[in-house]
Structure 1
């Protein structure tokens, strides 16, 4: 199956999480995009928010 570059990028980003392989990343990406778009948006906003980003940059 051929996927869009943005979907591939999302799946690769999810794979950096511990225990997430290619199939799990694909399932998570499809779930975020198809079933739980609002959850995906909340996740994106939380990861992009300055307090979260600043806390992890200091480590």
Structure 2
């Protein structure tokens, strides 16, 4: 299954790795900004690393 977005030319040529990266960054930013506790760079990186694997699997399954 290929996602189509006619408003964004070139959408289909983005790699799975790039899609997973973009989603992982967005998710990590969301977690960092919605958390009331302190969130440092190491926490952000760890959250990204965990999210990237999960999003890569999801992207591959739903492609």
Q: TM-score, normalised by structure 1?
A: 0.38
**More helix per residue: 1 or 2?**
1
Higher relative contact order (CA 8 A, sep 6+): 2
Larger Rg: 2
